[in-house]
Chains A and B, each alone.
Chain A
């Protein structure tokens, strides 16, 4: 057991898999010599050499296309898209190519690849470098979508994503890179499609993802001081979705809240709210409530960004108010 940052956990997860499987290769902008602009790939070039850890041009279509073509011909590439906002310049490769080729070819093509990317706000990078776009990804049949919130989950889910035979979009939260936690020694392999109950409670279920997980936990502590016991679930994987864990919790608590960093419309919580209303309406004691960033681009100024991304206080007051009414 040793303390590890979320950012170092990324490199540890990739290194763990590169050691056991020489088909695993890594490409991206500044990921080799520089160890990544967010330092999530430090040490990998030294350990695995330039044949397996490759700096690319700024050419996101070329990067994802290379990953796809390599995956369909025997490698298991990990590609980095530096900021998830940049998916907008290579979304064709994700949406039209990576997500659909297995289906269109009736299973002739298998695409074991991972696209890792820095997602989310809190670093004051403004509207084009702070977006939470996991809901874009979730909308496309054919890609798996993972968002870890702790260093241990980063290692384990990265390993699971690399071992998975389907394309996985791996959303690292930029606002969590500096966070630290104890991580067990040795290999860690987690399971895709599993949510985790981070805090048990009987009064309300709060779903969160990425940076919103620690904020939801902080909110739950403050609610507990007022006698409300909230259950906090780290959704971790949007596709596949662990609906069983989520609905099981709602059956127990009777209330459901989602805490989403994405802008309001069609955020991931909207789909889960719809599932809950469809499938456990009679377990609900009140309306499902979504706590999201408003439907605006993210402002750069720290004071404004803090105002619009859901905070622990906003989560606590929303839940408390809802339960009192």
Chain B
């Protein structure tokens, strides 16, 4: 029985541990190419995110950023299962989801650095990564809002009979805000082709989610209120996420409506750059670091007979790509001052009077 927040001291609550076994999906029917693709994505997300952290430490990235270290399997698994024209809606913790849709590392890092060659010319920043041409419809930084916006994209796909699905990622903290419930009901009522993916990393910013949520599973335990199946996925196992994603995407494409997936995972670091994450019990942090999505997947591939040398080549390729992107981002020009005054309106300008 978990104690309520008022009855334990900050940082001394009961630890939540990852699953004991890592080989559950060794025998899953997923072809080698797909798995290698997911592995490469996991490496890209891991290495790029670490580089983003380093660039912060070098004070080249300003403001804040929210890293996905430890949570990469969700983005990699869904990214591999989605159709090229499906829509992604992510949160301020959206670097991995942006990579998952095929956005280049240089524009991504350059955006973090506030450069003209950034994905949005430096006008959006870390929390708002968007690349419409890749189906990356945005990273949204006000909790809850983008679930309702993703509904709109799903509605549009339904209206146009395009067969596209909107996939909306959000954190466990989002399940307690009104927009979550408005969006779930709306999607269910109109049978929208949408998948809601709760990335439950166990902490709402600095507070254990279980301490401030009326049910143990913040997303899954709310599903039945909207006549949806409670679906829980292992958010650290890319294969588990991939298989879950295939099933819920197929359901949406068939016209059977929305799904709500709770993918349980863990942040390796704090909520944002300002947070060292000291409120987490040390045994919990260590157990989850040992259940790391990248090493878990690498070990699986090795068990399945992939040569270590082949994986090393991928790792090295990714390192080279991250290095190149870093150079190109740092070499990027500052945005032209005039760009501060463009693209308020569809005519490209910012004029509000004659």
Contact = CB atoms under 8 A, between A and B. Distances in A.
B185 A62 contact: yes
Interface string A221-252: 00000000000000000011111100000000
Interface string B178-190: 1100110110011
B147 A106 contact: no
Given A65-B148, A105-B138, A106-B343, A241 B353 contact: yes
Interface stretch (A29-37, A67-75, A311-319): A67-75
Interface of B: 87, 120-121, 123-125, 128, 130-133, 137-138, 140, 142, 144-157, 159-160, 166, 178-179, 182-183, 185-186, 189-190, 339, 342-348, 350-354
Contacts of B166: 69
A104 B130 contact: yes
Given A61-B148, A66-B186, A105 B142 contact: no
Contacts of A240: 351-354
B159 A65 contact: no
Q: Which of B120, B132, B157, B353: most chain A Cβ within 10 A?
A: B353
A245 B81 CA distance: 57
A33 B22 CA distance: 54
Interface residues of A, number: 49
B159 A70 contact: yes
B152 A71 contact: yes
A241 to B, nearest CB: 4
Contacts of A92: 142, 144-145, 179
A75 B156 contact: yes
Given A65-B145, A65-B149, A101-B138, A108 B132 contact: yes
Interface stretch (A6-14, A51-59, A197-205): A51-59
A317 B54 CA distance: 68
A109 interface: yes
Contact of B147 (A65, A96, A141): A65
A57 B137 contact: no
B151 A62 contact: yes
A96 B144 CA distance: 12
B145 A69 contact: no
Contact of B343 (A62, A67, A93, A102): A102
B354 A69 contact: no
Contacts of A193: 354
B182 A59 contact: yes
A66 B133 CA distance: 21
Given A93-B145, A103-B123, A72 B153 contact: yes
Contacts of B137: 69, 72-73, 109
Contact of B130 (A61, A64, A109): A109
A214 interface: no
Nearest to B184: A62
Contacts of B140: 97
Given A57-B185, A66-B186, 20 more contacts: A25-B159, A59-B185, A61-B144, A61-B145, A61-B183, A62-B185, A65-B147, A65-B183, A69-B155, A69-B166, A73-B137, A93-B145, A97-B145, A103-B123, A104-B120, A105-B138, A106-B120, A106-B121, A107-B343, A240-B354
A172 interface: no
Contacts of A166: 345-346
B156 A74 contact: yes
B149 A75 contact: no
A54 to B, nearest CB: 8
A210 interface: no
A105 B124 contact: yes
A257 B36 CA distance: 71
Contacts of B350: 141
B154 to A, nearest CB: 7
Contacts of A64: 148
A25 B156 CA distance: 10
A94 B153 CA distance: 17
A75 B185 contact: no
B344 A51 contact: no
A193 B353 CA distance: 8
Interface in A98-138: 101-110, 112
B312 to A, nearest CB: 37
A255 B130 CA distance: 49
B137 to A, nearest CB: 7
A54 B178 CA distance: 22
